[in-house]
Structure 1
Amino acid sequence: MKKILVVITNVTKYPTTTRATGLWFSEVVHFVEPFYKKGYEIDYVSPNGGMITNDPHSLEAQNMSELDWKYYTDAKFMNKLAQTKSPKEINAKDYEVIYYAGGHGVLWDFPDNEELQTISKEIYENGGVVSGVCHGVVGLLNIKLSNGEYLIKDKKVTGFSNEEEQQAGLSPFVPFLPEDAMKEREAHYIKGANWTAFTVSDARVVTGQNPASGLEVAKKVLEII
């Protein structure tokens, strides 16, 4: 049984305003839970390795389920989550799935990380799955396959929508919008209802629209592998 690789942002603050960001906690928890139940080993990696933080807004009571609290109060899990591996420590052959978790910070450190792009390409070309949720899907934008084509070109995908960004009130503070960026890569962007779980799977690329979609992404990935 190969391992699962979860990618988390190192960005802890919006460069454009005095607001904290980081991992949107539930987007990891709801994804990893089904894999832990099936006995998979999961590693956590970030663009720079080392410390990551959780977006404090993701830890507010209205955003935390019982499952989230179970993981948040698990010291072993939290310690592993907080001390991520660096891309240099990762051998792509050890993994059959890579999953890009969200949080607004990813908009600054996911798209241009060539080491993570290479890892993703190798996992995909070895028959594995490349996946992401919410803002995390921007980690897929610049992955190129060996044939020189972008991974998501001509594939059905989803991710945090322009409408959801506007409703969150954060459009003025982000460098770009995931929906627009995926369309620019000639992907076929599909949108579900705002703030409701929605996922798309196409040729071993699995994407979820918003924070509610992590579990559904995991289910679709498990169907594939």
Structure 2
Amino acid sequence: MPSALFVVSEHGYWGEECIEPLTTLSDAGVDVTVATPTGDPPEVDERSVDPENVGEEQAEWVMDVHESDERLQNPEPLARQTAGDYDTVVFPGGHGTEWDINQDSHARDLLRDTVEGDGVALVVCHAVGILAFTRDSDGGFLVDGRDVTGFPNEWEEGIVDDDDLMPDGRKLPYWVEDEVKAAGGNWDAELDQDTSVTVDGSLVTARGPGSSHAAAVTLLDELGIEYED
């Protein structure tokens, strides 16, 4: 049975970006393990389960899975995970990743070892920021020269204020697009398209919530797993 590790933020993952791939892969027969930096259950970003923001049906679905899925409620500690134990490692997005996942050395090691090894990595939305801090085995940036998509500056401008403060009062530490470009990534968020998923070798990146399903289906295809809608 193919296996996947989901590396999920304890500071606020975006509901659809985790739950959509998690359920899609599970339904396709993939054995899913969830890990967080400390092994504590992840937190879901409140804005991603606000009916006024995402719709009542999606908000209820995400919260139902978040609260009932045993894998999310009892995750593994990230430091105990090894890339070689999984066929794919998935990094769901959400602003919360900027405070833990993207800065975590074990998460960066998992990403590097997956991309340089025999697996496939899927990195979504704000989690794409991890590419700005991940080095390859030779010491260069893993993203240097790679085609990627992710959460664009144009969208961030509609969320933070002039002081880079988010609606909850936290200061955004960096903008994903700026940092990934500075690390050498070939950035194209395809803002003229409804969805944006980019494949560059064993690295798959996705723009944001609306691309979550397409990202999951693309990942299954990269794993050689047939998907039936």
TM-score range, shorter chain: 0.7 to 0.9
In 2 relative to 1, CA 100–3 (structure 1 residues): closer, same or farther, beyond 3 Å? same
- Cα RMSD (Å): 2.2
Equivalent in the alignment of 2:17: 27
* Bigger mean CA offset, 207-216 vs 182-191: 207-216
Between the two proteins, the alignment pairs up a number of residues equal to 215
With normalisation by structure 1, the TM-score equals 0.86
- Tell me the equivalent position of 1:123: 114
Aligned to 1:182: 180
- Structure 1 unaligned spans of 5+: 12-21
Q: Which residue number in structure 2 is paired with residue 48 of structure 1?
A: 38
Q: CA deviation at 1:74?
A: 4.6
Deviation digits for residues 102-152 of structure 1 (CA, Å, limit 9, x no counterpart): 111111112221111222222222221122111111223222222223221
Aligned to 1:141: 132
The residue aligned with 2:204 is: 206
The percent of aligned pairs where both chains have the same amino acid is 24
Q: Hey, what does 1:36 align to over in structure 2?
A: 26
Aligned to 1:220: 218
CA contact (8 A) 1:100 1:139 kept: no
Q: Distance in 2 between matches of 1:81 and 1:141?
A: 27
TM score, norm. by length of structure 2: 0.84
Instruction: Give the corresponding residue for 2:155.
Output: 164
Aligned match for 1:98, one of 63, 83, 89 = 89
Give the structure 2 partner of residue 7 of structure 1.
7
- Quick check: 1:86 aligned with 2:93? no
1:108 maps to 2:91: no
Work out the CA distance in 2 between the residues paired with 1:40 and 1:60: 29
- My pick for the range that moved more, 54-63 or 179-188, is 54-63
**Cα-to-partner distance string for 1:149-202 (whole Å, 9 max, x where unaligned):** 322110010111101011123543311100001101100000222794211111
Structure 1 window deviating more from structure 2 (62-71 vs 44-53): it is 62-71
